[in-house]
Structure 1
Amino acid sequence: MTSLTDKSVAPDARVKPVTELAARLSREMEGEVLFDHAARGRYSTDASIYQVMPLGVVIPRHQRDLTTVLEAARDARVPILARGAGTSQCGQTVGEALVIDTTRWLREIVEFDREARTVVVEPGIVLDHLNAWLKPHGLWYPVDVSTSAQCTLGGMTGNNSCGSRSIRYGNMVHNVLGVEAWLADGSEGRFGFFDELPLKGRERQLAERVKAIAEGVSAEIREHFPKVLRRVGGYNLDLFDCQNPKPYDPQGRVNLAHLLVGSEGTLGVSRRIKLRLSPLPAHKVLGVVNFPTFYQAMDFTQHIVTLDPTAVELVDRTMIDLSLENPAFRPVIEKALIGQPQAVLLVEFAGEERQAQLASLKRLTELMADLGLPGSVVEMPDAAEQAALWNVRKAGLNIMMSMKGDGKPVSFIEDCAVPLEHLAEYTDRLTEVFHRHGTEGTWYAHASVGTLHVRPILDMRRGGARKMREIAEEASVLVRQYKGAYSGEHGDGLCRGEWVAWQFGEPLNEAFRAVKGAFDPQNLLNPGKIVDTPKMDDERYFRFPVRYQRIPLTPLFDWSAWNVTRDPLTGELGEPGSAGDATHGLAMAVEMCNNNGHCRKFDAGTMCPSYRITRDEQHLTRGRANTLRLALSGQLGEQGLADDAVKEALDLCVSCKGCKRDCPTGIDMAKFKIEARAARVRTKGLALRDRLIGEMPRYAPWAKRFAGLLSAVERLDFLAQPLKRALGFAPQRRFPAFTSDFLGEYHGTPALAAGEVVLFVDTFNNYMEGDNARAAKRVLEAAGYRVHLNLKPGERPLCCGRTYLSSGQFAKAKDEARRTLDALMPYVERGVAVVGLEPSCLLGMRDEFLQYGFGEQARALADAAMLFEEFLVKARQAGELTLDLKPLPGRALLHGHCHQKAFDALRPVEQVLSWIPELTVETVDSSCCGMAGSFGYEAEHYDASLQMAELSLLPAIREADDDTVLVADGTSCRHQIRDGSGREAIHVARLLERALT
Structure 2
Amino acid sequence: MGTAEVTAPVVEALRKAGIAEVDDSARRRAEYSTDASLYRVLPTVVAFPRHADEVVAAVETCRSLGVPLTARGAGTSIAGNAVGTGVVLDFSRHLNRVHEIDPESGTALVDPGVVLDDLQRQAAPHGLRFGPDPSTHSRCTLGGMIGNNACGSRALGYGRTADNLLEADIVTGTGELLHVAAGADPESSPTLAALDRIVRSRLDVIRTELGRFSRQVSGYSLEHLLPEHGFDVAKALVGTEGTWGVLRRARVRLVRAPKVTTLVVLGYPDMAAAADAVPALLSSGPTALEGLDARIVEVVRNRKGAVPELPRGQGWLFAELRGDDPAEAKALVAQSGALEARIVRDSAEAAALWKIREDGAGLAARVYGDRPGHAGWEDAAVPPEHLGAYLREFEALLADRDLRGVPYGHFGDGCVHIRIDFPLDERGGRKVFHDFLVDAAKLVAGYGGSMSGEHGDGRARGELLPLMYSQAALDTFAEVKNVFDPQDLLNPGVIVRPRPADEDLRDVGRRRMTTGLGFGYHHDGGDFGAAVHRCTGVGKCRVTAPGGVMCPSYRATRDERDSTRGRARVLQELANSAATTDWRSPEVADVLDLCLSCKACSSDCPTGVDMATYKAETLYQRYRRRPRPASHYALGWLPRWAKLASRMPKLVNRAMSGPLASLGKRMAGVDPRRSLPVFAPRTFRQWFAEHPVADGKPVMLWVDTFTDHFTPQVGVAAVRVLEDTGFSVSIPDKKLCCGLTWISTGQLDTARRMVRRSVETLAAAGTPVIGLEPSCTAVFRSDALELLGPTPEVNAVSGAMKTLAEFLSEVDGWEPPDLTGTSAVVQPHCHQHAVMGFAADRKLLERAGVETKVVGGCCGLAGNFGAEAGHYDVSVAVAENELLPAVREAGEGSTVLTDGFSCRTQLGQLVHRDGTHLAELLAGGDERGVSR
Report the TM range for the smaller structure's normalisation: over 0.9
More deviation, 976-985/318-327: 318-327
2:290 aligns with 313
Amino acid at match of 2:645: A
User: Which of the numbers 719, 724, 728 marks the counterpart of 1:786?
Assistant: 728
**Residue 363, structure 1, aligned to residue 331, structure 2:** yes
Structure 2 partner of 1:568: none
What does 1:289-438 align with in structure 2 at a 5 Å threshold? Answer: 289-327=266-304, 330-332=305-307, 335-339=308-312, 341-351=313-323, 354=324, 356=325, 358-368=326-336, 371=337, 373=338, 376-403=340-367, 407-438=371-402
Give a deviation string over 1:377-397, Cα, whole Å, max 9, x none.
Answer: 122211111122222212333
2:351 aligned partner, one-letter code: A
The equivalent residue for 1:773 is 715
How far has the Cα of 1:667 moved from its partner?
0.8
- Output the CA distance in 1 between the equivalents of 2:847 and 2:163: 53
Deviation at 1:850, TM superposition (A): 1.0
Residue type of the partner of 1:350?
Answer: R
Find 1:444's aligned residue among 408, 414, 419: 408
How far residue 886 of structure 1 moved from its aligned partner, in angstroms, is 5.4
2-side partners of 1:616 and 1:144: how far apart? 24
Question: What is the aligned partner in structure 2 of residue 543 from structure 1?
Answer: 506
Query: Post-superposition shift, 1:97?
Result: 2.1
Q: 2-side partners of 1:377 and 1:995: how far apart? A: 51
Q: How does 1:547-696 map to 2 (within 5 A)?
A: 548-550=510-512, 553-563=515-525, 582=526, 585-603=527-545, 604-639=547-582, 641-682=583-624, 684-696=626-638
What CA distance in whole angstroms lies between the structure 2 residues aligned with 1:762 and 1:496? Answer: 55
1:914 equivalent in structure 2: 846
Per the alignment, residue 472 of structure 1 pairs with 437
Q: What residue ranges of structure 2 are gaps of 5+ in the alignment? A: none
Question: How far does residue 709 in structure 1 lie from its aligned partner after superposition?
Answer: 2.1
- Structure 2 distance, partners of 1:404, 1:748, is 55
Which deviates the most, 746-755 or 607-616?
746-755
Cα deviation, residue 257, structure 1: 1.4
Q: In structure 1, what is the equivalent of residue 132 of structure 2?
A: 143
Aligned length: 923
The C-alpha deviation readout for 1:605-637, integer Å capped at 9, x for no partner, is: 211111111111110001111111111221134
CA shift, 1:887, in A, is 4.9
2:821 corresponds, among 889, 896, 899, to 889
* Kept after mapping to 2: 8 A contact 1:501/1:508: no
Question: How many Å separate the matches in 2 of 1:747 and 1:454?
Answer: 60
Partner of 2:493: 528
1:90 is matched with which residue? 79
The residue number in structure 1 matching 2:788 is 853
1:49 aligns with 2:38: yes
CA spacing shift, 1:64–1:984, aligned 2, 3 Å: same
Aligned partner letter, 2:306: P
Q: How many percent of aligned residue pairs carry the same amino acid?
A: 35
Contact 1:310 1:350 in 2 (8 A): yes
CA displacement at 1:939 relative to structure 2: 2.4
Is residue 188 of structure 1 aligned with residue 177 of structure 2? yes
Give the one of 864, 885, 891 matched to 1:955.
Answer: 885
- SS of the residue aligned with 1:409? coil
What is the letter of the counterpart of residue 730 of structure 1? D
User: How do residues 69-148 of structure 1 correspond to structure 2 at under 5 angstroms?
Assistant: 69-148=58-137
Q: Which amino acid aligns with 2:140?
A: C
CA contact (8 A) 1:737 1:768 kept: yes
Which piece of structure 1 moves more, 973-982 or 462-471?
Answer: 462-471
Distance 2:837 2:385 in 1: 47
Matched, 1:225 2:168: no
Contact 1:840 1:899 in 2 (8 A): yes
1:870 aligns with 2:870: no
Segment of structure 1 superposing worse, 673-682 or 214-223? 214-223
User: CA deviation digits over 1:149-198, x for unaligned, max 9?
Assistant: 11100011011111211221111111100110112232311111234x48
Instruction: Spell out the pairing of 1:667-746 with structure 2 (5 A cutoff).
Output: 667-682=609-624, 684-716=626-658, 718-739=659-680, 740-746=682-688
For the pair 1:8 / 2:6, whether they are aligned, the reply is no
Unaligned runs of 5+ in 1: 1-6, 247-252, 564-581
Q: Matched residues in 2 for 1:784 and 1:29: separation? A: 72
Q: Which amino acid aligns with 1:118?
A: T
**How much does 1:316 deviate?**
1.1
1:20 to 9, 16, 39: 9
Which residue identity is paired with 1:363?
A
- Secondary structure, aligned partner of 2:61: helix
Q: Deviations over 1:531-573 (max 9, x none)?
A: 11121123xx110276x4345642111113312xxxxxxxxxx
Letter in 1 for 2:662: Q
SS in 1 for 2:924: helix
Distance 1:240 1:888 in 2: 65
Q: Name the CA distance, whole Å, in 1 between partners of 2:435 and 2:657.
A: 74
Write the distance in 1 (CA, Å) between the matches of 2:99 and 2:688.
Answer: 66
For 1:590 and 1:903, locate their aligned partners in 2 and report how far apart those are by CA, in whole Å. 19
Letter in 1 for 2:321: F
Tell me the alpha carbon deviations over residues 892-946 of structure 1, each in whole angstroms, 9 at most, x when there is no partner: 2211111121135323223333344xx5321332201000001111221011001
Matches within 5 A, 1:493-532: 493-532=458-497
With normalisation by structure 1, the TM-score equals 0.90
Instruction: Name the Cα RMSD after superposition.
Output: 2.1
User: 1: distance between equivalents of 2:650 and 2:419?
Assistant: 65
TM-score by length of 2: 0.96
- For residues 761 and 809 of structure 1, the distance between their equivalents in structure 2, rounded to whole angstroms, comes to 21
State the shift of 1:124 in Å: 0.4
| Corresponding residue to 1:991 among 892, 896, 921 | 921
Q: Any idea what SS the aligned residue of 1:209 has? A: helix
**What is the CA distance between 1:865 and its match in structure 2?**
0.2
Which of 59, 77, 102 is the aligned partner of 2:48? Answer: 59
Cα distance in 1 between the residues matched to 2:158 and 2:801: 51
Runs of at least 4 residues off by over 6 Å: none
Amino acid in structure 1 at the alignment position of 2:87 = L
How far off its partner does 1:520 sit?
Answer: 1.0
Query: Residue 462 of structure 2 contacts residue 499 of structure 2 at CA under 8 Å; is this kept in 1?
Result: yes
Q: Secondary structure at the match of 2:462?
A: helix
Distance 1:48 1:896, change over 3 A: same
Q: Tell me, what secondary structure is at the counterpart of 2:53?
A: helix
Q: Give the superposition deviation at 1:49.
A: 1.2
Q: CA separation in 1, counterparts of 2:675 and 2:405?
A: 57
Amino acid at match of 2:570: T
| Contact 2:295-2:367 at 8 Å conserved across structures | no
For residues 367 and 753 of structure 1, the distance between their equivalents in structure 2, rounded to whole angstroms, comes to: 65
Please give the alpha-carbon distance, in whole angstroms, between the structure 2 residues aligned to 1:130 and 1:625. 29
Q: Would you say the 8 A contact 1:418–1:483 is kept in 2?
A: yes
**Is 1:946 the counterpart of 2:882 in the alignment?**
no
**SS of 2:548 mapped into structure 1:** coil
Question: In the alignment, residue 311 of structure 2 is paired with which amino acid?
Answer: I
Partner-residue secondary structure (3-state), 2:174: coil
